[in-house]
């Protein structure tokens, strides 16, 4: 089952629903010390700002070729959610979160071509 997705408009700081920690640390970027943070993707510039080291290496090698929806559909992570946040003039940002002890695995039928996920 793909990651559950919640879409909303919000101008404030996004926090993990599992740890309560902020996804980003003001001018320091993503909160890499939060074990529940899976990824941060800035839609306006189509850039992955953070990808968790918990992700399989097969995915992280090609993540720059993927959109957040591709990642959400390619992985099964118990209890995980993807927040799709419309930040008004800053565009739409994507945040992935999961409980710290969640197992991360590929959805059935996901395979890798030479340079991308299929």
The model's pLDDT over 61-99, given as tens digits with 9 standing for 90+, comes to 888 888 999 888 888 999 999 999 999 888 999 999 999
pLDDT of residue 47: 94
* Residue that wins the pLDDT comparison between 81 and 107: 81
Q: Give which of 77, 78, 75 is closest to 109, Cα–Cα.
A: 75
Task: Check residue 84 and give left, alpha or beta (phi > 0: left; psi -120 to 50: alpha).
Answer: beta
pLDDT of residue 108: 76
The count of other CB atoms within 10 Å of the CB of residue 111 is 9
Whether residue 113 has pLDDT greater than 80? no
pLDDT, tens digit, 9 for 90 and up, residues 9-42: 999 999 999 999 999 998 788 999 999 999 999 9
* Residue that wins the pLDDT comparison between 19 and 1: 19
């Amino acid at each position: 089952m793909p990651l559950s997705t919640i879409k909303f408009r919000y101008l404030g700081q996004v926090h993990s629903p599992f740890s309560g920690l902020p996804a980003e640390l003001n001018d320091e970027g993503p909160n890499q010390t939060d074990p529940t943070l899976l990824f941060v993707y800035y839609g306006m510039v189509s850039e992955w700002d953070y990808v968790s080291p918990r992700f399989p290496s097969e995915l992280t090698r090609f993540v720059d070729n993927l959109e957040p929806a591709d990642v959400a559909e390619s992985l099964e992570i118990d209890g995980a959610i993807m927040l799709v946040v419309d930040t008004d003039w800053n565009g739409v940002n994507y945040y992935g979160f999961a409980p710290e002890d969640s197992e991360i695995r590929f959805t059935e039928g996901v395979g890798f071509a030479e340079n991308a996920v299929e």
